[in-house]
Amino acid sequence: MRRITLRTQLGLAFAAVAVFTAALVAMVLAVTWQGLFNDYVQERVQTSATNFAQIAGTSFANFGRRWESTGLQTLARTALFYHLRAQVLDVNGAVLIDSEWLSEETPLPGMPRVAAGDETDTVTPMKEPVVSALVSVSGVIVGSVRVSSLSPGSLLTDSDLQFRTASTAGLGVAATLALLLATAAGLLYSRVFVRPIQRVTRTAEALRAGDLAARTGMGGDDAIGMLGSTLDEMAASIQAEREFERRLTADVAHELRTPLQAIQATVEAMQDGVLPADGEHLGVVRNETVRLGRLADSILELSRLENRSVQFRRANVDPAVPLTRAVDAHRALLESLELAVVTSIDEGAVVSADIDLLTQAFSNLLGNAARYTPEGGTVTVALHSDGRQAIITVADTGIGIREEHRDRIFTRFYRSEEARERSRSGFGIGLAVVREIVDQHGGTVGFAANEPGPGTVFEVRLPLVRKKQRA
């Protein structure tokens, strides 16, 4: 069974709405028209009753201020002439004449079937609407007149009937036009509406097929435009991630290949007798093996942190303690590289943390500064609190990090070209470890907003537990 397209569904939906709207409008107008029509008939009947009351009053006065059969019959014939039923009642409510009593079969039209007031006369109920009017002569009520229509149309003129017919026909034409226009508008709108959706669908299918360069090229503040823009951003992110994965694979292969090649070359040279199997050459093999071990340990450590499998031993500690430990552990290395160490560490803040993991995070930042700062440079370590967070900064006067690399600098194995040229000892994992440790402590790590001079300023923010009271 063929699937109904979205365009057809929208067109049918618009048509259904048009039909419903036309039917609702027709119903409302029909009810309104019927009400107005009934009011109009009521008003016409009331006018007729008033006129008959005036005629009856004149007849009553002309016949010596009493009801006469001739006058009553004349009134009844007049009512029949206008397709009305009329009754004349005396002051006591007795029916004196009813136009229904006149028989069409009488030799003389207008003669009563029975005499007015005869006991054998019967009065049948009058057809609604029934209106009445008092008959007065010189201000004295002498009776009343009741009038009803023999048929609703009998009170309408030819113009009235034509207007009613034209209105009904016009309503039908308007409903038909509304249906046709709504359906056409629905099909047109559905075409405009479905086109960007189809573009999004084609782009998604292209991405699924492996074309990571596929884009919708859409934009705007509407929902469809935002959908296309979001899909483009997602595609760009996927493409960047795929490129990063390829680069990551190449970086890992490179990191593994370099020490393996050194080990292989040294061992083969010793096997061929080119190099002696002495301590010096065996030391090369050992050093490269250690390098491979550090790489494996770093990858394993980062994996455990990312999988949250590292057991945290949290306690309320002063962040100055792990920071000072990290500085002391790296002081000899920094000084051997002829780097000046400047510290400004305020004590007294308290954070909930694993002191060993914080020490490792700060050590990674110091190791990064030592690796990429040239001789004669300065590494500055500072700690202060703003009342809500402990703020740790590690600044150096090294090669710095360009803006385009900062979004990925905390990603595993990522190193800028300048960093690759500067140092071959790093694996590009240290800052990723820092980010994981700080994130799991509820803090943030990034770059300081204002970085004075050259180099890089890393900033770690950790939420405070409380402020120590000094004696």
pLDDT of res. 153: 52
Higher pLDDT, 464 or 139: 464
Nearest to residue 11, comparing CAs of 143, 192, 247?
192
Name the token pair of 426. Answer: 């790093």
Nearest to residue 79, comparing CAs of 110, 117, 39?
110
Average pLDDT over every residue of 358-375: 88
Q: Can you list the alpha helix ranges (DSSP code H) found in 307-429? A: 320-336, 355-372, 417-422
Nearest to residue 101, comparing CAs of 82, 115, 119, 81?
115
pLDDT of res. 463: 93
Counting other chains too, the contacts that 195-203 makes at CB distance below 8 Å and 24 or more residues apart are 196/224, 196/225, 196/228, 197/6, 197/224, 199/228, 200/224, 200/227, 200/228, 200/231, 203/228, 203/231, 203/232, 203/235
Burial letters for 446-462: b for 16+ Cβ neighbours within 10 Å, e otherwise? eeeeebeeebbbbbbbb
Q: Which CATH superfamily is domain 315-467 in?
A: Histidine kinase-like ATPase, C-terminal domain (3.30.565.10)
pLDDT of res. 471: 40
pLDDT of res. 435: 86
Nearest to residue 372, comparing CAs of 405, 325, 345, 346?
405
Taken in order 300, 303, 308, 312, the sign of the CA dihedral is positive
Higher pLDDT, 258 or 267: 267
Distance CA 388, CA 462 (A): 9
Query: What does the domain layout of the chain look like in residue ranges?
Result: 6-155, 223-306, 315-467
Instruction: Find where tokens 């590494």 sit.
Output: 379
Higher pLDDT, 432 or 115: 432
**Helix, strand or coil for residue 98?**
strand
Other CB atoms within a 10 A radius of the CB of residue 368 amount to: 22
Which one-letter amino acid corresponds to residue 256? L
pLDDT of res. 369: 87
Backbone angles phi, psi at 301, to 5 degrees: -65, -45
Average pLDDT over every residue of 280-293: 79
Residues whose CB is less than 8 angstroms from the CB of residue 239 and which lie 6 or more positions away in sequence, other chains included: 212, 213
Distance CA 87, CA 123 (A): 10
* Total residues belonging to the chain: 471
pLDDT digits (tens, 9 = 90+) for 233-257: 888 888 877 776 776 677 667 667 7
Of 12-16, 137-141, 403-407, least confident by mean pLDDT is 403-407
Higher pLDDT, 292 or 7: 292
Residues whose CB is less than 8 angstroms from the CB of residue 74 and which lie 6 or more positions away in sequence, other chains included: 59, 110
Yes or no: is domain 6-155 CATH 3.30.450.20? yes
**Residue 9 clears pLDDT 50, i.e. is over it:** yes
Distance CA 70, CA 116 (A): 10
Higher pLDDT, 155 or 353: 353
Average pLDDT over every residue of 45-70: 82
pLDDT confidence band for 34 (50 / 70 / 90): low
Distance CA 160, CA 164 (A): 6
pLDDT confidence band for 185 (50 / 70 / 90): confident
pLDDT of res. 103: 54
Which one-letter amino acid corresponds to residue 118? D
Contact yes or no for 366/432 (Cβ under 8 A) = no
Higher pLDDT, 91 or 177: 91
pLDDT digits (tens, 9 = 90+) for 333-346: 888 889 999 999 99
**Class assignment of domain 223-306?**
mainly alpha
pLDDT of res. 224: 76
**Residue 42 clears pLDDT 60, i.e. is over it:** yes
pLDDT of res. 65: 81
pLDDT digits (tens, 9 = 90+) for 124-145: 888 777 888 898 888 889 899 8
Name the token pair of 74. Answer: 């004349």
Mean pLDDT of the chain: 77
Other CB atoms within a 10 A radius of the CB of residue 348 amount to: 14
